[in-house]
Amino acid sequence: MVDSGSQEFRAGEVVEGRYELAESIGKGGMAQVWRAADRETGLDVAVKFLRPDSEDLRQLDTLARQEELDVLRARFRRETMLLGRLDHPGIPELYGHGSHRGMPYMAMRHVPGVNLHKFLGEHGPLTLTVAAAVAAQVADALACAHTLPVVHRDLKPQNIMISDDGVAVLIDFGIAKPLGMGVTQYTRHGSTLGSRGYQAPEQILEKEPTTRTDVYCFGCVCYELFVGRPPFVADGTKGMVEQHLHDDPLPLAVHAAGIPGSLDDLVLRMLAKAPERRPTVEEVREVLAALTPRPGDPEPRPRLKRDPTAPFRLPRERPIRRQPPAPSPSAPAAHDEWLDARAVEKLCDEAQREIHDGDPDHAVRRLEGLAERARDEWGSRRPLVRRVWELTAEGLRLAGECGPAARFYESIASELVHGDGPEERACRAVLRLRAAECRLAFGEIEEAIAAVEAAGHVAAGLPASLAARVEEVRREVDLDVTERLAGPES
């Protein structure tokens, strides 16, 4: 049991002999963040701790409090995992993680600057170019997260930092969620995830989120960026929740002059009530990119202390990420001249156990990193190569990392399954169904329907045992398609 009253940290305290705490720079409902000095690198870092002493937890009885802490710890571990996978200048990279005084922590890049809420308060209505520069950077970071895909679920001005050098950084992946089959739900006691005023209708109704959920929340942020106010404001007749569920926002041009028609149309589509009517974040990024400044353009007037146009006007080479994850002791090292087949077999056995236990982790990550090298060294016909790729695909799918998993499944089907006998046809059908299942997380429903239909035709021409194998997976994917086509309840 955790003593919820013993977690007050102090300036000068050193976390695991490395991170010396300097000052508290933020405290939310379930976490607190300190600026710290990394004794190994000399860099300032942000160290985030889970808070077991929040008011919400104090109000629960002992058993319920411990259950909530278990959920929060699991969500904290997930946030740590996600940050370790996301590689983008607009997302803080993970430097380290562990436990300090019984509470989990993570150390990440410190972003000196102000959040977007404060930035808007300091500068009032932004010019079109400055607002577009902020929005385009956030869209690019969000697109990176969606490639896994991961849904942030809490996009709001307070979770977007404008750094001292003008970079917009998306922070706080505390309630972010990977999408896909087998992903555990970590829902707080009696809560609806997201922030008031920036929740998508499906969040308010407690429906399953998709990447289009983030698009809606981002649409609320963009509306505020370009016109200086959110799309909906509570009044005496109707609250914000009702407006988000039932009302259409006014065009941006009603509130601000000089709004391009393409931008007005984009933001209104982002705020569509039905997720399938919203654009993808890639479409959002494309429209916004046309509005950003170009290299060599003049700086904004009046001058800004933190200038979001600077990354576009004065582009700089991105620094190399620090501290890549250490290899597993049982895995072949990256600098080995040739892969050791016995070590790879052992790593495959470890990955198989992780997948069987429902917790794909380090071994699956190492296989992912070795997959292409194994194919290049040993060729596409060696059974061990196919085993590496299949375990990697399955592990990533179960971890909710649908984008990479789909690519592995598709590559196995096209490159590693040879011949056209009944066994090979069945394998390809199953692999393509799994790839389609992963692509559903990106809203690719028509492609999944086509894969289900194609698998049905394949199964009809197979021996009974092989047909049953294909049909089992086909029914799973078909059910997922049906549920998505049904959409949110009215």
In sequence order, which ranges of 86-172 are alpha helices (DSSP H)? 116-123, 128-146
Token pair recorded at residue 483: 């549920």
Domain endpoint, select from 72, 88, 109: 109
Alpha-carbon distance values, 474 to 411, 426, 437, 448 (Å)? 19, 11, 10, 10
Same domain, yes or no: 377 and 268: no
Residues 224 and 299 in one domain: yes
pLDDT for the residue 176: 43
Residue 116 has pLDDT above 80, yes or no: yes
- pLDDT above 50 for 158: yes
Picking from 82, 109, 136, the residue at the C-terminal end of a domain is 109
CATH number of the domain enclosing 266:
1.10.510.10
Claim to verify: residue 253 and residue 214 sit in the same structural domain: yes
The pairing of beta strand 150-151 with beta strand 103-109: unpaired
Per the structure, the count of domains in the chain is 3
CA atoms within 13 A on the CB side of 405: 30
Same domain (yes/no): 147, 82:
no
Q: Does the residue 334 lie in any domain? A: no
At residue 191, does pLDDT exceed 70? no
> Does residue 331 sit within a domain?
no
Percent pLDDT > 70 in the chain is 84
Torsion of CA 211, 50, 17, 111, to 10 degrees: 50
Helix then strand count (H, E) for the chain reads: 17, 11
Residue type, position 127, single letter? T
Say which DSSP state 413 is in: I
Q: Give yes or no: residues 105 and 124 share one domain.
A: no
Residue 390 contacts residue 380 (beta carbons within 8 Å): no
Q: Are residues 305 and 237 in the same domain?
A: yes
Q: Is 48 annotated as a binding residue?
A: yes
Q: DSSP 3-state assignment of 20?
A: strand
Mean pLDDT of 291-299: 95
Q: What is the pLDDT of residues 244-268, one digit of tens each?
A: 999 999 999 999 999 999 999 999 9
Pair (238, 147) in one structural domain = yes
Segment 425-443 shows an average pLDDT of: 89
Q: Could you list the active site residues?
A: 154
Residue owning tokens 């739900």: 185
| pLDDT interval class at 58 (50, 70, 90) | low
Mean pLDDT of 427-445: 88
Nearest in space to 89 (alpha carbons), one of 25, 138, 30, 19: 138
- The predicted pLDDT at position 55 comes to 56
The predicted model gives 389-405 an average pLDDT of 87
154 plus 267 within the same structural domain: yes
How far apart are the C-alpha atoms of 330 and 263, rounded to whole Å? Answer: 52
Q: What is the pTM of this model?
A: 0.67
Q: Which domain holds residue 480?
A: 341-486
416: CATH = 1.25.40
Q: What burial class does residue 190 get, using C-beta atoms within 10 Å of its C-beta: 0-12 exposed, 13-18 middle, 19+ buried? A: exposed
Query: Is-contact 470 430, C-beta < 8 A?
Result: yes
| Whether the bond into 302 is cis, omega within 30 of 0 | yes
Which of 109, 125, 155 is the last residue before a domain boundary? Answer: 109
State the CATH number of the domain containing residue 74. Answer: 3.30.200.20
- Least confident span in 85-89, 111-115, 156-160, 448-452: 85-89
Q: Are 255 and 150 part of one and the same domain?
A: yes
Average pLDDT, the chain: 84
Tokens of 358: 């429902």
Instruction: Name the token pair of 199.
Output: 């929740």
100 plus 236 within the same structural domain: no
